[in-house]
Amino acid sequence: MKLHALVEDAEVARVAIEGGATVVQLRLKDISTYLVRERGVPVQALCRDAGVTFVVNDDVEAAVALGADGVHLGRYDEGAERALAAGLLLGLSAASVDEAVDAERRGGAYVGAGPVWETPSKPDADPAIGLDGLRAICGAVSVPVVAIGGIDASNAAECIRAGAAGVAVIRAATEARALREAIDAAL
């Protein structure tokens, strides 16, 4: 769970995997399940060949069709029960301790906590929870916590020291090697 790279295509996935990503999450917004499946095939193949966990964002049916290892659902997304019934690794987002506890109760194998810092990748994100909010979430659940939001090589280690099992990155996915080194040094 050290480094989740959120990607939109196979090329970024390849760079992230070569840099040490341990999880690749296919993050395609506002497109059909059919297109997620179509664009996910080469990403899934790269992950399978590299032995990297492959997760689909927000779309349980695409995750099942692609033979993904898991699915990550946002705080208001439906499908947790379907994902668990299909045997998928379930990641759930949380921006507070209460949401994290609820995510664990609902069967989440990990919690995506954040945004830790403001991020241009998601302009409609909730206010940043900061390291104190991340620390509180990590202390409230027994499942691994993956920090997200404004994370790069300069601050990833702070998230690990706050209790996160790993970090998730969008903009910094192409900087996976530097991120992985920062994470490994903090562990």
From 39, 75, 82, 122, the catalytic residue: 122
> How far apart are the C-alpha atoms of 110 and 171, rounded to whole Å?
22
> How far apart are the C-alpha atoms of 125 and 115, rounded to whole Å?
7
154 labelled catalytic: no
From 2, 37, 93, 135, the catalytic residue: 93
Centroid of chain to Cα 36: 17
Q: Confirm if 16 and 7 have CB atoms less than 8 A apart.
A: yes
Give residue for tokens 């979430």: 137
Q: Confirm if 3 and 179 have CB atoms less than 8 A apart.
A: yes
From 2, 27, 37, 180, the catalytic residue: 27
Contacts of 81 (CB under 8 A, 6+ apart): none
Q: Where are the beta strands (DSSP E) in 22-172?
A: 23-26, 53-57, 70-73, 89-94, 110-113, 145-148, 166-169
27 labelled catalytic: yes
Active site residues: 27, 93, 122
